[in-house]
Amino acid sequence: MNLPIPSVARHAFAAAALAAGLCGAVQAQPHQYTISVSLDYTGPFANVMDSWWGGQQSVFDWWNDTRGKQLGVKLNVKTHDMRYDPSMVARTWPQVLSQDKPIVFLGMGTPDLISLMKRLPNDKVPMIMGTAMLGPLWTPDGWHFSYRPTYSHEFAGLFAHLQSKLGENRPLRIGTVSTQGLAGWVDQVNGVVALAKTYPDRFQVVSSQWVDPQPISVTNQVREMAKEKPDVILVGTNTAQVVATAKALKELGLKIPIVTSSHNGLNEAAKAIAPADLEGSYSVFAFAPYNDPSVKVAEIFAKYNKTKGTWGITSAQTAGQALLALAAIERAVAKVGADKLSGQAVHDALLAGPFEADQFLGLLPPVALTREAPFPTERLAVKAMTMKNGQLEAVSTDWMPVPALAKW
């Protein structure tokens, strides 16, 4: 026989059920962690910052909505306008540590490296960059990482491809344009000189011209270089030097391809001069071009981007940065559990063996980090774009391998 439940008992039963439900809901909540990000909305890169941040933001939002839910982890991303200024980075970092307590930090470039490189091991926060690296950063046991090798490695991958296409048994003749006194820019040239010394039958640096950082004209220097008959001219510095070199070539009636990187590439230079003046020139980097159909991150950006930025080289570069951070976080979760993530766990995950290309949605090749260098030094590969009939096209649909290059 079913007896009616007294009113007081009914209320007690309901309260207990509610408490149990709330307890279950609390247990179902994901474990939350913070990723801190260096941005520049008031400094030299303010004009591209929406696209820069959009590449990161869209990937993190997608991950929280998909993989993060499956793993029981939610990432809160905190941005800091560092103005691309090392003093600002240094002043802001204590606040980042105390308030954000990040498990990983995404840096922008040289200011973050200068200010934080020596601090990170003590602070136990790994920093991941989206830019290529430099020879002076080739140090062991650091907590600063990049999925890209040095600029010189990236240039070497394209140079090797171009040399193989010469159709004759001779080295690729390389001219360089850069600025003395700026260590990072000089290092690019030093790395390519080391490449030529390592493979003298494949590469030859025939002329190095040193110009002002923001040159008005480099016609005299390019005229001098042309006497050595270079096959390509490397300008890995800034857009101003790319534009000045292209104008000099046009003035002299010369057709010599310019080789650039991602930060000063053809799409940026084409905003200042006619695409026809860049015909046959190149941009090379250790990630896939934004318009490569194999890059599935473009679909993520289209769906999740909340900024006014657009999908392009800048957003593709920073999406790669975010994807490496997420690959390390997933590996750390598998190792220590969703409830025990830390900067140390992410750091250890970064060094725990190669990340295969399928983790990067077509944007990156395999990435293998070791304690000997803060960037990959093995299984290196690059992709490149060239200007053809006024349009940017892929140089090769396949990843182009980079020749082995020892520390210079």
CA distance 14 to 398: 64
Stated pTM of the model:
0.91
Radius of gyration of the chain (CA): 25
Beta carbons within 8 Å of 101's beta carbon, 6+ residues apart: 34
Is 198 in a helix, a strand, or coil?
Answer: helix
pLDDT per residue of the chain (408 residues) written in tens, 0 to 9: 444 434 433 444 344 443 434 344 445 799 999 999 999 999 999 999 999 999 999 999 999 999 999 999 999 999 999 999 999 999 999 999 999 999 999 999 999 999 999 999 999 999 999 999 999 999 999 999 999 999 999 999 999 999 999 988 899 999 999 999 999 999 999 999 999 999 999 999 999 999 999 999 999 999 999 999 999 999 999 999 999 999 999 999 999 999 999 999 999 999 999 999 999 999 999 999 999 999 999 999 999 999 999 999 999 999 999 999 999 999 999 999 999 999 999 999 999 999 999 999 999 999 999 999 999 999 999 999 999 999 999 999 999 999 999 999
Continuous segment of H or E residues that includes residue 166: none
* DSSP structure class, residue 234: E
φ, ψ (nearest 5 deg) of residue 264: -125, 35
Cβ atoms of 198 and 230 within 8 Å: the answer is no
